[in-house]
C-alpha cells in the first residue's frame, strides 16, 4: 500500500521478526519494509529506507536498542522508534524515553496492541516533525534567543556566569529567563536566594502546551529574571526527552527575549539537548591545564555535533596566580576569546554568600564590566564566530595527556 505506515523491524531473533509480520499481516495501512538483526544494521537500513516507524528490540548484539535509538535520533529524525522488550520495569522505560524513543511496548503483545501503538506513534511523531519543521523555518525570525553555558570541568563558574548574565540582560530592559539544568543539584536557587516550589520536571509532567502554563513553574527574582529550577532527583532528568526539550526551547523563545541555560558539568542527554536548542553557546574555561584539556575535548565535541557556528569562548578567573597566559591559550586553542572575566574572589564569594548577583550590587567592579561586555555581545547583531573549525593541533603539541 503506497500510503501505508512504513515499518522497519529490528530484532536479532528471526522467529520474533516473523511473529511481528504475522501480527501485522491483516493491517492494510501498515507495511513492513525491512528487517534488521542488530543496532548497526538498523541504523544503516533506516538511513536507506527512511521508515515511518522502527520497532526496536532493546537487547541486541553489538549495539543495543537504546544506543541505536540515540544514533537514529540524529541520523533519521523523521523516523519514530518504538522500543519492544520483555522488561517492563520503569528504569528501562525511562532510559528508552531519554534516548528518544516515542513509545515502549512490553512483550508479549496482541496484534491490536501492536497496530494501535504503531498508528498512534506515527501520528504523534508526524505532527511533532511538522511543528519542528516550522520551528526551524522560523528560527531566525523568532523573538527569543537561547544562550547555553557549557563546559565539562567543574568549578569553572558556569552558574555564576549564568546568573549574572541573565541579570545583566534583564537590566537592559529585556524579558529574561534562566533555566537550571544542573541535574545533580543545581545551585541557582542559592545564588539567587530563592526557594523553588516547582521545577522543570514538574513542567514536563504537566505537559507543555503554550506559554501561559510557564507562569506556574517560574520563580521571580527582584532583577526581573524568571527562573525555572532544576530537578530535585537525578533520575527525574530522564523525563527531559528530546521532545520535551524542543517544546521548552520553543515556548521560552516565544515568551522571552533571552533565555540563559546553565548545564551540568558533564556529558549527558540533558546537556546534549540544551546545546541542540541553543542559538548561542558560551564555552567557559579557566586558565589551568585540566580546564584546557576539557575545553579541547568540548570544542571537538561541539564541532562533531555541528554547533561550531554557535560557540563563543569565554575565559574566567583571568589573573589567577600561576595562570597560563591568555595569548598562549588562544594560540593553543586556535581561537580568540569573546570575553575575559577577571579573577575577583572577594566580589564573587560575597555575591554567592548573599544570594545576589554582583552585577546588581557591584556596578563598578571589573567582574560586572566583564559580564556586561558579554551581555552587549548578545544584544548586538550576531558577528562571525571566533571559534576556528580546524582541529586543535597546537593544543595537542602544547600538552600531553
Whole-angstrom CA distances from 184 to 266, 270, 277 are: 10, 11, 21
Please give the pLDDT value at position 185. 73
Please determine, for residue 325, whether its predicted confidence score (pLDDT) is greater than 80: yes
CATH classification at residue 365: 3.40.50.300
Please give the pLDDT value at position 1. 42
Please determine, for residue 396, whether its predicted confidence score (pLDDT) is greater than 90: no
Please give the pLDDT value at position 399. 43
Confidence band (pLDDT; 50, 70, 90) for 401? very low
User: CB of 291 within 8 A of CB of 312?
Assistant: no
Please give the pLDDT value at position 99. 84
CATH classification at residue 100: 3.40.50.2300
Q: Are residues 31 and 173 in the same domain?
A: no
Phi, psi of 93 (to 5 degrees): -65, -45
Phi, psi of 262 (to 5 degrees): -95, 125
Q: Are residues 332 and 295 in the same domain?
A: yes
Please give the pLDDT value at position 385. 47
Please determine, for residue 392, whether its predicted confidence score (pLDDT) is greater than 90: no
Range with lowest mean pLDDT among 113-122, 217-226, 300-309: 300-309
Q: Are residues 390 and 265 in the same domain?
A: yes
Please give the pLDDT value at position 173. 94
User: CB of 58 within 8 A of CB of 83?
Assistant: yes
Q: For all residues of the chain together, what is the average pLDDT?
A: 88
Q: Are residues 73 and 39 in the same domain?
A: yes
Please give the pLDDT value at position 208. 73
Q: Mean pLDDT throughout 311-327?
A: 93
Q: Are residues 81 and 112 in the same domain?
A: yes
> Highest-confidence range of 189-203, 356-370, 384-398, by mean pLDDT?
356-370
Q: Are residues 326 and 264 in the same domain?
A: yes
% of residues, the chain, pLDDT over 90: 66
> Given 104, 119, 137, which residue is the final one in a domain?
137
Number of domains in the chain: 2
Range with lowest mean pLDDT among 19-23, 289-293, 339-343: 289-293
Torsion angle in degrees (nearest 10) through CA of 117, 127, 92, 106: 0
> Given 137, 152, 174, which residue is the final one in a domain?
137
Please determine, for residue 162, whether its predicted confidence score (pLDDT) is greater than 90: yes
Q: Mean pLDDT throughout 178-207?
A: 89
| Bridge partners of residue 54, in order along the sequence | 8, 81
Q: Mean pLDDT throughout 373-384?
A: 81
Range with lowest mean pLDDT among 113-117, 301-305, 338-342: 301-305
> Residue 15 contacts by C-beta under 8 Å, 6 or more apart in sequence?
none
Q: Are residues 268 and 205 in the same domain?
A: yes
What totals of helices (H) and strands (E) does the chain contain, helices first?
A: 16, 13
Q: Are residues 117 and 258 in the same domain?
A: no
Please determine, for residue 130, whether its predicted confidence score (pLDDT) is greater than 80: no
Q: Are residues 127 and 161 in the same domain?
A: no
Please determine, for residue 363, whether its predicted confidence score (pLDDT) is greater than 60: yes
Q: Are residues 339 and 248 in the same domain?
A: yes
Which residue range(s) make up the domain with 344?
A: 141-398
Please give the pLDDT value at position 256. 95
Q: Are residues 155 and 112 in the same domain?
A: no
Please determine, for residue 131, whether its predicted confidence score (pLDDT) is greater than 90: no
Please give the pLDDT value at position 210. 66
Please give the pLDDT value at position 334. 84
Q: Are residues 200 and 126 in the same domain?
A: no
User: CB of 275 within 8 A of CB of 307?
Assistant: yes
With 0-12 / 13-18 / 19 or more C-beta atoms within 10 angstroms meaning exposed / middle / buried, residue 137 is exposed
> Given 83, 115, 137, which residue is the final one in a domain?
137
Whole-angstrom CA distances from 42 to 5, 63, 126, 191, 253 are: 17, 10, 20, 46, 35
Amino acid at each position: 500500500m503506497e500510503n501505508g505506515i512504513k515499518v522497519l523491524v529490528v530484532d536479532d531473533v528471526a522467529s520474533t521478526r516473523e511473529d511481528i509480520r504475522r501480527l501485522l499481516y491483516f493491517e492494510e495501512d501498515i507495511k513492513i519494509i525491512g528487517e534488521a538483526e542488530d543496532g548497526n544494521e538498523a541504523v544503516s537500513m533506516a538511513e536507506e529506507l527512511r521508515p515511518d516507524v522502527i520497532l526496536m528490540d532493546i537487547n541486541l548484539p553489538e549495539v543495543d536498542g537504546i544506543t541505536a535509538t540515540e544514533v537514529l535520533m540524529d541520523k533519521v529524525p523523521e523516523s519514530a522508534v518504538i522500543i519492544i522488550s520483555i522488561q517492563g520495569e520503569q528504569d528501562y522505560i525511562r532510559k528508552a524515553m531519554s534516548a528518544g524513543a516515542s513509545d515502549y511496548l512490553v512483550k508479549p503483545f496482541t496484534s491490536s496492541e501492536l497496530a494501535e501503538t504503531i498508528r498512534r506513534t506515527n501520528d504523534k511523531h508526524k505532527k511533532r516533525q511538522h511543528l519542528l519543521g516550522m520551528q526551524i523555518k522560523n528560527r531566525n525570525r523568532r523573538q527569543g534567543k537561547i544562550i547555553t553555558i557549557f563546559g565539562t570541568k567543574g568549578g569553572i563558574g558556569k552558574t555564576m556566569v549564568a546568573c549574572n548574565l541573565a541579570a545583566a540582560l534583564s537590566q537592559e530592559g529585556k524579558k529574561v529567563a534562566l533555566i537550571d539544568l544542573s541535574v545533580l543539584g543545581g545551585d541557582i536557587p542559592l545564588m539567587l536566594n530563592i526557594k523553588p516550589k516547582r521545577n522543570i520536571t514538574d513542567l514536563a509532567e504537566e505537559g507543555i502546551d503554550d506559554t501561559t502554563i510557564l507562569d506556574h513553574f517560574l520563580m521571580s527574582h527582584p532583577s526581573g529574571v524568571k527562573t525555572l529550577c532544576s530537578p530535585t532527583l537525578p533520575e527525574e532528568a530522564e523525563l527531559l526527552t528530546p521532545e520535551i526539550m524542543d517544546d521548552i526551547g520553543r515556548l521560552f523563545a516565544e515568551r522571552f527575549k533571552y533565555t540563559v541555560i546553565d548545564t551540568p558539568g558533564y556529558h549527558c542527554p540533558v546537556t546534549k539537548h540544551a546545546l541542540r536548542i541553543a542559538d548561542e553557546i558560551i564555552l567557559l574555561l579557566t586558565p589551568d591545564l585540566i580546564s584546557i584539556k576539557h575545553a579541547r575535548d568540548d570544542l571537538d565535541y561541539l564541532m562533531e555535533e555541528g554547533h561550531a557556528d554557535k560557540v563563543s569562548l569565554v575565559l574566567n578567573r583571568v589573573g589567577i596566580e600561576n595562570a597560563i597566559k591568555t595569548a598562549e591559550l588562544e594560540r593553543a586553542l586556535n581561537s580568540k576569546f569573546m570575553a575575559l572575566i577577571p579573577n575577583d574572589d572577594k566580589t564573587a564569594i560575597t555575591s554567592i554568600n548573599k544570594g545576589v548577583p554582583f552585577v546588581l550590587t557591584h556596578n563598578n567592579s571589573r567582574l560586572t564590566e566583564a559580564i556586561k561586555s558579554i551581555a552587549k555581545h548578545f544584544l548586538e547583531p550576531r558577528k562571525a564566530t571566533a571559534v576556528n573549525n580546524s582541529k586543535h593541533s597546537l593544543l595537542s603539541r602544547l600538552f600531553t595527556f
